[in-house]
Structure formats: C-alpha cells, structure tokens
Structure 1
Amino acid sequence: MTPTSPAAVFWDMDGTLVDTEPYWVSAETDLIESFGGSWTHEEALQLVGAGLWHSARIIQAKGVALTEDEIIDALTDRVLEQLATKGIPWRPGARELLLELREAGVPTALVTMSISRMAHFVVEHLGFEGFDAVVSGNDVTHSKPHPEPYLHAARILGVDPALSVALEDSPPGVASAAEAGMVTIGIPFILDLTSSSATHLWPTLDGRTLADLAALVPAVSS
C-alpha cells in the first residue's frame, strides 16, 4: 500500500460490483404476480439500494402473504438462480479496479444489503480473493441509508472511515457511506445521484485506477 492510498476501499455490490438490479426486479415481479398483484418499474426503483427487510414489508403490502424472511429467501433464491444460469454480470471496470487494489495491498470490504449467502456467492466467483471482509444485510441492525453497515465494516478492518473510500450506485448507499464519514464516490447506474451526498460522481469505474482513488484521500486527511 502506498502512502497516499486510501486506508481502505469499501464496495457496494448490487449495481456497483455486479449488474444484478434487473434480476431483483424480475424476482420481485414474479413473486408479487404469483400472489395476484402487480409491480411496476417505478415501484421497483423505490427498492434499489434499500435493505431487504424494508423491501419485504413493501412487498407484503402488495399482497404477498409470506413472512419477511420468507420473502427475502424467495427473492434471493430467484436471483441466485438467474446468476447461476445467466452468469454474473460484472459492472464495467469493477473487477479490474478491485484486482488492482488487492495487488497493491489496499484493504477492501464488500458492504451489501443482500443477505450473506448471496454476497458470498458473488465473492466466490470473482476469480481471485477480493475482500478482507464481507458485511451483508443480516450482519447489521440498521440497513442503508443508516451509516451502521459502513461503520461496522470499518471497525472490522480497523481503519479510519475518514481516510477511506466507498463506491456506491444508489441514494441509500451513498447516504450510508457519507454519513459514516467516508469519501463517497457515486457511480450512477439505474438512479440519478446528482442530488445525493456523494463526494464525487464518476460515470463509470471503467478505466479508473488506484491512483484515481488515492488522489481523493489528501482532501480528507489534510
């Protein structure tokens, strides 16, 4: 790790590392329709970046007569099935940047509101050891946009959040990382982030390097 490297880099998963949002929307639609309800694209967008237990309560209100945990398990099963059959759609530049961080010895953590088995499925298919820690939705009491997920991950790695960088694609995720005190890079994907609390907005991770991340740290540490 170079002197100007971030203390750590924290990654969101869905929409940042992998393009799984269409899989989630498909899973939500199938589940709600199986109980006779309907699910619009606009309604699905409201769940992007939200905690799964929050999402489960919204889905219950659409007439799905299952417990929150049953809904989360059903959605996760369906998304995992799509990942297994269609493959993992990595976001442009994400794996390349992550690999560069690992080779440079920069600590990394995955911070996702998906449950543990989903997070570890993705991590195990990276093709290299990508993360020092994985914080999933069932590891915290408060989901994004609460800062707990990122603060918890920072404690695990033993780093100062203010000297760390977080990569996020959704307003709840950006709010969580920013409230935790991290330099927060928003990479808009499905939702607009221009009015979010992101420290910086990048249109893509494609072509981005450790040097680009390192350039952001002095503004925090000076």
Structure 2
Amino acid sequence: MGSQDRVSSGPGKSGHHLVREVRSWTVAHQVFVAGVILVVTAAGSAATSDLVFDRLGGFTLSAKVAGVLIIPVIGAMAIGAAWRHDAPISVPLHPRLFWWRIVWIAGWIALVAAASCTGQLFGSQVLTGAVVRNVLIFVLITGVCQLFGVPRIAWMVTFSYTMTLLFFGAIGDDGRALWWSAPIDSSVSSVQLAVFGALCAAVVVLVSVRRPRAR
C-alpha cells in the first residue's frame, strides 16, 4: 500500500501523471465554444467602437452607454465555457495541477480582456481601463457562480445584472452612475481596478483549489 504510493510519486510517473491530468483538464472544458465566443467578443468590440446607445428597442436607457463597455458581457461567457467542468469524466488532482488551473483561467481572462479592447484599435474613445474593469466585474460574477456550483446560470446572472444597470443604473439629468453600476461608467479609477482585480484573483484561487467533478 505504502510502496505503491511511493512508486507513483517517482519523477517519471509524476511527470506522466501531470501530462495526463493536464490533457484531461483541457478535454473536460469547452475550449472550442470559448474560442468562438472570444472571436465574437473581438468582432463586437470592433463593431461598437464608436457607438453610444441611449435606447434599447423601444425603451430609454438610464444613461448613454458606450457599446464597448457592454461587450465584456459576451467575453465573460467565454470564461464560463473555459472554466466550467462539463464532461462525463473526473479530472484527478495533482499538486502542480493547482497552478495549471490558475494559469489556465488567468490566460483566458487576459484573452477576453484583449478581445474586449479591440474597439480601442478602431478608434474608440472609451478608456481601456474602463473596459478592463468591466471584464473583471463580469468575470467575477462568473467566478462566483462557479464557486457556488451553479456555473450554468452564470450567463443569466450576468445578463440580468446588465439589463438592470442599463435601465436603472444611473440617475439625474447627467446620467450619473450609481455605486453598483460601474460597468456603464466610462470613467475608471485605479482603486476600482485594484479592488476588482484582487476579488477576481481571490475567486480564481478559490475555484482552482476545488476538485472538478464529472457530471
């Protein structure tokens, strides 16, 4: 019993074990779907680079909102797809796989941030920091849903929050954003980036230490 554990922990066995687990981790997540959503995010950011909306359908928004500020909602779905363990297999744990999980999701967050900022390459006047802040906020929502074991409703929570802030997130004639509706605010502060960045990092770590389970 003890000897079997010692053999399994040898250098060769350990390396092979890690490769197998990393491969399982990749297969178990919806990489293709996430990639498609990533492309849609980049295209949407480019298409809305100079657009500002004050109406949605026949309804007036609470404030004028730059299109590129809302695009990260789509990007967050890519994070959800890449993050969610949605395959009929169990991904085993390995001490180093914890770091692989962190690098995996951090990489996807970086890709989504880059895709969401494509509009800046097409002349968008919105601050890049404001777009990145929104990526962090929507990724945070997705991560919390993942943390509580309800990843399938992440898109619903994100969509509902977005609709709420679009129609009720600002007050006054100047359309001043309320404290909870930062995503529609075209201004950004270093404090916001630091706070949401730290919260995202904490959620990523917490989710990464959990063992993915099969359906």
Please confirm whether the aligned pair reaches a TM-score higher than 0.5, indicating the same fold.
no
Normalising to structure 1: TM-score of the pair?
A: 0.26
> Whose helix proportion is higher, 1 or 2?
2
Greater radius of gyration (CA): 2
